[in-house]
Structure 1
């Protein structure tokens, strides 16, 4: 027999030795309310407040009364076969090679929507010590507009993809490396395509 919310409620009330009419009054409803729910399926779903009150009173798992499952605590994001060079740039091969698991709390803290997230690898030392060779960065593809104070972005320039610190200057963009050994460049904003902002560093220690 499938344990429906109606059956679970009726069985729990029987074990507790309390009538459905009394439980209905406890909820502030008319005494026929839960009887109709059990016998006629009306209402079709118990409201959250009432479901919680009944679960607490009857010492019952709220899921048995029809509570939706909790949201998954992890999100899978596409892992791209692209290495964003923290150096001179690298010709990309943009294709999904797998899925990587990222905690939902991490995405929420970084302000990244799950459907706008992707992971790419980092190669080279131009962004050291902020980014190291072999790191992965979570890219927010919804964040393509450069902020005035600058930030770390993944960009495409000609046929190359790189991860750099970008600072807008009117119609130009300053391309900086965190490694002081690398030169600063200034190019026209139309010479690069911003793929997204690097929001989260994933590093294996």
Structure 2
């Protein structure tokens, strides 16, 4: 039986990891125990939790979220059957979650919408293909570098912050895309669009911040 309750989600986490209780889950995600308790109470699992666990343990985020399909699908068992690929290509999942670059609401589902093929040698030079995911940008705060509707490739294994890099970052239940500056006791989220002021986080605010991964590549459609 499929389900999106916290209890069913956590059973799936236990099935594919060595995490045995909610304290283990909180430590793995770098969040407070209270954040896990709140997610359980609300029966709402933040998309970044799904994406992080899926990336670290090489499991399908759609399965982790809903229980449908296989934990580690093969090209023959995945519920999102891609076109056959030769060995020179790696399949990177595109998830329904959106990166917020500005105001307004956005989707946070970790469900896989499909797969895109990248040259395996290219993505290996960039990072860990098993930890990569594609997400769509919503909003204009990162223009002109990133525009509304762009699709970006994120490596969730790259969480160390380097000056000038663009990162997907979770702030509570919000998933943002920003340039990040690390200062003593403070994290500053910068927008390329000068209409947006920097977001400065410090103290207890940092407890609800998680660097999801570094943006490696963008794709843009022209109309």
Output the TM-score relative to the length of structure 2: 0.55
For structure 2, the residue ranges without an aligned partner over 5 or more in a row are 1-85
1:92 to 97, 104, 108: 108
Q: Residue 170 of structure 2 aligns to a residue in which SS?
A: strand
Q: In the alignment, does 2:220 pair up with 1:203? A: yes
Give deviations 1:47-105, integer Å, cap 9, x for gaps: xxxxxxxxxxxxxxxxxxxxxxxx82221011111110111373511222221112224
Alignment root-mean-square deviation, CA: 1.7
- 1:118 is aligned to 133
- 2:195 is aligned to 181
Separation in 2 of the partners of 1:131 and 1:73? 29
Separation in 2 of the partners of 1:190 and 1:88? 22
- 2:152 is aligned to 137
Q: Is the 8 A contact 1:82 1:94 kept in 2?
A: yes
- 1:157 is aligned to 171
- 1:45 is aligned to none
Larger radius of gyration: 1
Output the TM-score relative to the length of structure 1: 0.60
- 2:119 is aligned to 103
Q: Residue 132 of structure 1 aligns to a residue in which SS?
A: coil
Separation in 2 of the partners of 1:199 and 1:98? 19
Counting matched residue pairs gives 133
Q: Is the 8 A contact 1:80 1:95 kept in 2?
A: yes
Separation in 1 of the partners of 2:140 and 2:160? 25
Moved over 6 A (4+): none
- 1:62 is aligned to none
Separation in 1 of the partners of 2:107 and 2:149? 17
1:195 Cα deviation (Å)?
Answer: 0.7
- 1:31 is aligned to none
Separation in 2 of the partners of 1:113 and 1:191? 25
Separation in 2 of the partners of 1:203 and 1:101? 16
Separation in 2 of the partners of 1:190 and 1:204? 37
